Structure 1
Amino acid sequence: MTSKEDLAVKKKKGHLGLSNSFHYTLMVLPGYIWLFMFSIVPMVGIVMAFQDYNPSKGWFGSPWVGMKWFKYLTVIPDAKRALVNTLIIAIAKVILNIIIPLVFALLLNEVKNMKFKKTVQTIVYLPHFVSWVILANIITNILGANGIFNTVRSAFGATDTVLPMTIPGIFRQLLIGTDVWKEFGYNAVIYLAALTGISPSLYEAAAIDGASRWKRVWHITIPGLVPTIVLLTTLAMGNVLNAGFDQVFNMYNQLVIETGDIIDTYVYRVGITNMQFSLATAAGLFKSVVSFVLVVTSYVCAYKFADYKIF
């Protein structure tokens, strides 16, 4: 083939590649537009964290105050309380939403009845799709004065009424437990999908060598799930300061604000209710920066210790 023919073939391939990529670009264009309009453009508001923002003066007329609001966040008790609550609730959720789905997936994987297995898998997965607005109302009604919880207690002879949603010492555990119940099915399905990628020949060889079921799980199944565990842990690390605004906002009240208030609800209360826009922006920016650092750190650790690579 001559050089001219080679050039013609390359040009043809180039045009075909451009045509194919153009269609793909058109397909994802709405997503790019949505990302730009609702994620990129609003980032201009970050400047409020460094201003004494006044809506009447706008971003260009409000005076600059530097790091004033960030320093203020370090001394006010409400912000410290929100940070501590966020860390406790979020870290507990991250750990339990990694361990419990893994154990559940390993147990369900041992079930031989496929119809029962798929039924259980579907049932535990369904709560993931239910909004916290709905679930919070259901939980509130169950634990309310006339709910199932107190009705059962009355049937066993209890004469008092207990409202767990208003007890600070119980509310935090209630947030963690209900979130794990709602979300563990999602990660369990991911683990079950990863289990199908482990070669059955490994289990057959181990069985021939006399390995027990526990040893097969420990030396074959769990090592085969390590990449998935690393991925889910890496993704979860970015949520260490995200304790679940929609859940907490729909479940907490003034009686449990001491143990239930998190950074997101604090930002909402300060920014929307009290209209302290600069302070709320500073708190939100602090959370975003820390989350970004945690995501980068978790990826570096995954790359270094688990040989996990995205690209």
Structure 2
Amino acid sequence: MNQSIMNQGTNREAAAARRSGWRAYTRNYDLYLMLVPVLAYYVIFQLQPIYGLQIAFKDFSASLGIWGSPWVGFAHFERFFSSYYFGRLLTNTIEISLYALAVGFPMPIILALLLNEIHLLKLKKFIQNITYFPHFVSVIVVAGMINAFTSPDGFINTIVSWFGGEKASFLTNPAYFKTIYVISNVWQHTGWSAIIYIAALASINPELYEAATIDGASRWKKILYVSIPGIFSTIVVLFILQIGSLLDVGFQKILLLQNPLNLEASDVISTYVYRTGILQGNYSLSTAVGLFNTLINVTLLVTSNAVIKRLTNHSLW
């Protein structure tokens, strides 16, 4: 008898919980409707293409389709690893990525710290607008500007000639390509990337700065002992994310700046995938190369997260 009463009570509580949960859904239906386009985007453009990854292990033919094409195992991976281009592609991708990380990652942090020290609101807003603007410039326009500035009769060569130097065609010289790419990236994205650090700095308790002032701390010491520790967790998370996308070099800009004379320094994995997949129609090989690139990035993400978690006690998960 007692057991029956307890079961009835439990059933009533479960039913009440279900009704309460359903009322919560219906009460906030408009918020859930707003999720539909986002979920649809991810399902169509992010999850559905995963189905096509199997062509990396097949000799894909458009006439046979994905399921009808024969399996070839790891033949495309072996072909890529043994090809003439493999060493150059991997070396260029790693060099450009590490160069961009070493130069580009600290710049938004430095800019955010400097802006945090500016107390004239109008000057601060002006600098922010100037540094944010390049992010919204089309990569095609940026590539055109780089071509114009670095041409033999361009702005940079004009400055060089004023100081008695010899004019050079920078984009046709492989030695200059990586530096041009990294500097243009810093110019274009530093301001935009600094936004998250500025937001993190704004969340630091002002009383910490007041206490540091009372203790006689200089501006530099406030930055070193208050500002940087206050945004350290943000720095760590973004650094791990950068490591996780280390081999995802900016494809569009490199392709637009690439030419036969600088191919030795500018040919990276993403441009090779475009060349073999889109231009040559070798979809299986390009998918295999792209999958290899993704697996390396995932490995770097997991490894860097584990190492940094052990060293700093901060991590993504």
Contact 1:267 1:283 in 2 (8 A): yes
Change (3 A) 1:8 1:274: closer
Q: Counterpart amino acid of 1:121?
A: Q
Q: How does 1:27-176 map to 2 (within 5 A)?
A: 27-156=34-163, 161-176=167-182
213, 219, 241: which one aligns with 2:225 = 219
* 2:6 corresponds to: none
Indicate the RMSD between aligned Cα atoms, in angstroms: 2.5
- CA deviations on 1:62-95 (whole Å, 9 max, x unpaired) are 2211111112222212122111111111122123
- Secondary structure, aligned partner of 2:261: helix
1:261 aligned partner: 267
Distance 1:240 1:291 in 2: 7
Q: Structure 1 pair 3/220, CA: closer, same or farther in 2 (3 Å)?
A: same
Question: Structure 1 vs Structure 2: percent identity of aligned residues?
Answer: 37
1:45 partner amino acid: G
Q: One-letter code of the match for 1:98?
A: F
Q: Secondary structure of the residue that 2:194 maps to in structure 1?
A: helix
Letter paired with 2:213: A
Counterpart selection for 2:214 from 208, 216, 222: 208
1:110-134 per-position Cα deviation (integer Å, ceiling 9, x unaligned): 2221111111011111111222111
| Counterparts of 2:200 and 2:52, CA distance in 1 | 41
Query: Counterparts of 2:316 and 2:86 in 1: how far apart (Å)?
Result: 36
Provide the C-alpha distance between the structure 1 equivalents of 2:299 and 2:151, rounded to a whole number of angstroms: 41
Residue 245 (structure 1) aligned with residue 248 (structure 2):
no
Please tell me the residue identity of whatever aligns with 1:308: H
Q: List structure 1 segments (4+ residues) > 6 angstroms apart after TM superposition.
A: 2-9
Match of 2:234 in 1: 228
Does structure 2 retain, via aligned residues, the 8 Å contact 1:98–1:229?
A: no
* 1:3-55 deviations in Å (ceiling 9; x for gaps): 99988975663233121454322111111112111222222221121112222
* Structure 1 residues 157 and 17: CA distance shift in structure 2, 3 A: same
Cα distance 1:209–1:258, how it changes in 2: closer, same or farther (>3 A)?
same
- SS where residue 228 of structure 1 aligns? helix
Query: Given residue 110 of structure 1, which amino acid in structure 2 is its aligned partner?
Result: E
TM-score, with length taken from structure 1: 0.90
Change (3 A) 1:237 1:149: same
Letter aligned with residue 26 of structure 2: S
1:280 aligns with 2:303: no
Residue type of the alignment partner of 1:77: Y
Please, which runs of 5 or more residues in structure 2 have no aligned partner?
1-8
- Aligned equivalents of 1:209, 1:88: Cα separation in 2: 45
Residues of 2 paired with 1:262 and 1:102: CA distance? Answer: 28
CA contact (8 A) 1:53 1:63 kept: yes
| Contact residue 105 and residue 188 of structure 1 kept, 8 A | yes
Separation in 1, partners of 2:35, 2:276: 37
**Structure 2 length normalisation: TM-score?**
0.89
Q: What is the CA-CA distance between 1:150 and the residue it aligns to? A: 3.0
Contact 1:121/1:189 (<8 A) preserved: no
Aligned residue number for residue 5 of structure 2: none
Matches of 1:227 and 1:290, distance apart in 2: 25
Structure 2 residue aligned with 1:289: 295
Shift of 1:203: 1.6
Higher relative contact order (CA 8 A, sep 6+): 1
The question of whether the paired residues in 1 share the 8 Å contact of 2:58 and 2:71 is answered with yes
Q: Provide the residue aligned with 2:312 in structure 1.
A: 306
**Greater Cα offset, 163-172 or 229-238:** 229-238
Change (3 A) 1:204 1:253: same
- Work out the number of aligned pairs and report it: 309
